[in-house]
């Protein structure tokens, strides 16, 4: 609960500092030193007391009503994703699963069915728990396989040189991934596994630490991603996520090429399909 309160306060502070006074209907006078809104301006716009709002940013408030949270979201001009994130941070803490859930036979069948496209399974803590033959073939030229505790897509993105080489737009990908982690943080506040991952990344990666401090939030949306491969050259794949209904901790990520395209033929060559 304490971790969730701190995260909520940090998020509110970051959104307050980001918002220009004139965008919120305030006049930015010549003596203003605050980069964004003052606490008293947010409190007035949200119709709460300055003392209470200060305590909220300091992580000293237990329990916030939905009405007040919605009012704060309006005062801070939060996006829909940021508003949802705010609500999650103010909710009940998530519990850490006793053990990683098994990947079912049906999910493994699905991973085989999407071949020669790339398919893998990740948890809400971004742990990589299963993948298909094309992903295995893609990893084959990795100089040193990651240790079991490092089989996490965020950890690999920031700490595996092979991953950096595979993404022509590595910084944009890393920023987006960090924003996805931030987007999940509200649900996972209080989850020791999630907190260990964030703490470990903050302690070991200056780039992650800088991206994390920005408090940017991105919900998952299907899109395209460019890869660089020594045998296939540079290819662009579409990607999408399939949520596992009977296990909300797992999702299937599929990177695919349009049928009949040159990229589809390149993926088929990757596994000899």
Asked if residue 32 has pLDDT above 80, the reply is no
For 81, the domain range is: 2-89
Torsion over CA of 212, 216, 219 and 220, rounded to 10 degrees? Answer: -60
Asked if residue 92 has pLDDT above 60, the reply is no
Instruction: Report the number of distinct structural domains present in the chain.
Output: 2
Q: Does some domain include residue 8?
A: yes
Task: Say what the pLDDT of residue 34 is.
Answer: 66
CATH number of the domain bearing residue 77: 1.10.260.40
Task: Say what the pLDDT of residue 137 is.
Answer: 87
Task: Say what the pLDDT of residue 191 is.
Answer: 84
Same-domain check for residues 39 and 172? no
Same-domain check for residues 174 and 200? yes
Same-domain check for residues 85 and 109? no
Q: Does some domain include residue 98?
A: no
Same-domain check for residues 111 and 229? yes
- Calpha distance 9→21 (Å, rounded): 20
DSSP track, 210-248? HHHHTT-------EEEEEEETTTEEEEEEEEEEE-TT-T
CATH number of the domain bearing residue 215: 3.30.450.180
Task: Say what the pLDDT of residue 30 is.
Answer: 60
Same-domain check for residues 152 and 205? yes
Q: Does some domain include residue 160?
A: yes
Task: Say what the pLDDT of residue 245 is.
Answer: 82
Same-domain check for residues 123 and 196? yes
Last residue of a domain, one of 89, 118, 144: 89
What's the residue count for the chain? 273
Nearest by Cα to 42 from 65, 58, 66, 19? 19
With bands split at pLDDT 50, 70 and 90, how would you rate the model's confidence at 2?
Answer: confident
**Mean pLDDT score, 102-121:** 94
Last residue of a domain, one of 47, 65, 89: 89
Asked if residue 171 has pLDDT above 60, the reply is yes
Same-domain check for residues 141 and 223? yes
Task: Say what the pLDDT of residue 226 is.
Answer: 94
Q: Does some domain include residue 73?
A: yes
Task: Say what the pLDDT of residue 29 is.
Answer: 60
For all residues of the chain together, what is the average pLDDT?
A: 88
Note the pTM of the prediction, 2 decimals: 0.81
Crossing angle of helices 2-18 and 39-46, rounded to 10°: 100
Asked if residue 56 has pLDDT above 80, the reply is yes
Task: Say what the pLDDT of residue 31 is.
Answer: 67
Task: Say what the pLDDT of residue 248 is.
Answer: 82
Same-domain check for residues 37 and 158? no
With bands split at pLDDT 50, 70 and 90, how would you rate the model's confidence at 99?
Answer: low
Task: Say what the pLDDT of residue 140 is.
Answer: 82
Asked if residue 22 has pLDDT above 80, the reply is no
**Mean pLDDT score, 79-85:** 90
Same-domain check for residues 84 and 159? no
168 and 236 Cβ atoms separated by less than 8 Å: no
Task: Say what the pLDDT of residue 211 is.
Answer: 98
Asked if residue 93 has pLDDT above 60, the reply is no
């Amino acid at each position: 609960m304490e971790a969730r309160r701190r995260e909520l306060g940090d998020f509110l502070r970051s959104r307050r500092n980001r918002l220009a006074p004139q965008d919120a209907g305030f006049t930015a006078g010549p003596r203003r030193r605050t980069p964004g809104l003052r606490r008293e301006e947010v409190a007035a716009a949200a119709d709460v007391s300055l003392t209470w709002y200060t305590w909220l940013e300091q992580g000293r408030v237990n329990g916030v009503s939905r009405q007040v949270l919605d009012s704060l979201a309006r005062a801070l001009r939060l996006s829909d994703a940021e508003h949802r994130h705010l609500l999650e941070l103010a909710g009940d803490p998530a519990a850490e699963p006793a053990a990683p859930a098994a990947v079912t036979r049906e999910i493994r069948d699905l991973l085989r069915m999407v071949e020669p496209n790339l398919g893998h399974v990740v948890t809400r803590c971004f742990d990589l728990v299963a993948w298909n033959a094309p992903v295995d073939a893609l990893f084959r030229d990795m100089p040193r396989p990651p240790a079991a505790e490092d089989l996490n897509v965020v950890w690999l993105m920031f700490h595996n040189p092979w991953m950096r080489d595979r993404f022509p737009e590595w910084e944009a990908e890393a920023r987006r991934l960090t924003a996805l982690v931030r987007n999940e943080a509200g649900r996972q506040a209080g989850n020791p596994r999630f907190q260990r991952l964030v703490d470990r990344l903050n302690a070991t990666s200056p780039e992650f630490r800088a991206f994390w401090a920005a408090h940017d939030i991105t919900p998952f949306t299907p899109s395209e991603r460019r890869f660089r491969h020594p045998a296939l050259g540079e290819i662009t794949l579409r990607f999408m996520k399939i949520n596992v209904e009977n296990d909300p901790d797992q999702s299937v990520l599929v990177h695919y090429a349009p049928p009949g395209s040159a990229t589809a033929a390149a993926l088929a060559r990757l596994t000899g399909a």
